Structure 1
């Protein structure tokens, strides 16, 4: 999981560099074409010889792909305008929003400890976003919208049957993002991708395919409550890459807010793992 998060963050940094010189949708489209082909090849190498899509999951897959398109476009829009670490830190609120959505919309039981963790976590988000101050960026709202799409995507994923392959889900999502980016790129003036940008594009494609591979491999063998906290290692990578690649480093308030979000997210995952194990123990 830590390797998967490192690869995803390396991909984000590479894409952020490319988008400074190459049009937005063109960048996403080019990455998407090669990523989709890479996922298909990876699925084949892992032994998947059929589509692996259960009939009862088709509507959920369609909805999940739509949510992934929204999450990708809003996240990358925010990433293009904001420091890498800030956007990554906001995205770390996803476990909190998933728990909140489950309580509000699905009636999942949430005790006072997790409610408190959610409230403290969102206070951490306010420290990162800093509304009403000079440090506020309007694109922070784009990152928060991306979190909403991630929440929808992950809740839809929970309802998928075991008959649907994880690589099929990843491939359909990559294809959906690619098609939408291709449509968007029709309104742009395409630019040649040469030199350093070509190398960064190759890094991005390799990293995101590797990220999918490590993520799927982890989900196959790891207990969710144990491996999920390792998702937060992406923030460490974002801090390092943001500093050495773009010269960005968050201020003390943003850092404190980021680590508050991480701490509350890890506690929420830990608490849910405890509650899940309790019935089995009884």
Structure 2
């Protein structure tokens, strides 16, 4: 039986989120084996080769890019570098499910930032959902000023929030880049930026010999991150974004299972509760965005 475009898009989105989470698990497995920046350089090499080939094959290098888009791509690449540093640093020191759970706040932060900086209409229902979602984030973080000492909060908890902020700016930049700019050009610029971060940072760290196991983890990380790119592009081209986007929460399920199987980690009750709140409010926000888009399309006034 043939799949509908929306069903196909949902399958691709689930594949993308699972692949990216498997990449995260591989990178986390390298902590204590090789330094962060060395891992970034080695993983980025395979990604750059793949994206460069796809960009060349698609004729992306022949596309003229307007100065405004060049600025936006540069800004997007800069915050992508920040996101990679903060996220992987946190991943090396925190449970994968906790880090992934906080990242699920992205639909909320992007919606809020779009209202604040791009003038996008956001009704009181979505604003309420965003505020409730941030309460869920606090339950995951468990900062000492609310939960007391010994809550598990650390500087790397802040790193995850900084990664969320960077990815929010990245997504806002992507919204402003003109449709004429090939997606592969944008992705390749980000990959080169992350590789440059690793190259510069590795000067401050002594490179370590890569064991057979570390090489396998690096190969896995490269394979899965490339798969994530392919599936994510396919997802956006296969169905309605409003239908496909909620399936991004597959990453949290994958992170919970991988954390338990590979690292023996399972979140505490407060973290699970916070994760549930963040996911629920994120789904509601996506639903309201879809409903608002339909009202605008039919000429009704959004609420």
The question of a shared fold, defined as TM-score above 0.5 by the shorter chain, is answered with yes
Match of 1:137 among 140, 146, 153: 153
Alignment of 1:55-70 (within 5 A): 55=66, 56-70=68-82
Q: TM-score, normalised by structure 2?
A: 0.90
Q: Structure 2 unaligned runs (5+)? A: 1-12
Instruction: Report the Cα distance in structure 2 between the residues aligned to 1:269 and 1:25, rounded to whole angstroms.
Output: 35
Instruction: Report the Cα distance in structure 2 between the residues aligned to 1:245 and 1:102, rounded to whole angstroms.
Output: 37
Instruction: Report the Cα distance in structure 2 between the residues aligned to 1:182 and 1:214, rounded to whole angstroms.
Output: 28
- Answer with 102-111 or 169-178: which moved more: 102-111
Q: CA RMSD in A?
A: 1.2
Which residue matches 2:176?
159
Which residue matches 2:46?
34
Instruction: Report the Cα distance in structure 1 between the residues aligned to 2:53 and 2:102, rounded to whole angstroms.
Output: 33
Which residue matches 1:210?
227
Which residue matches 1:93?
105
Instruction: Report the Cα distance in structure 2 between the residues aligned to 1:13 and 1:41, rounded to whole angstroms.
Output: 26
Alignment of 1:40-79 (within 5 A): 40-44=52-56, 47-51=57-61, 52=63, 54-55=65-66, 56-79=68-91
Which residue matches 1:233?
250
Q: Structure 1 unaligned runs (5+)? A: none
Is structure 2 residue 286 aligned with structure 1 residue 269?
yes
Q: TM-score, normalised by structure 1?
A: 0.96
**CA deviation profile, 1:224-262 (whole Å, cap 9, x unmatched):** 111111111100000000000000000111001001101
3-state SS, counterpart of residue 60 of structure 2: coil
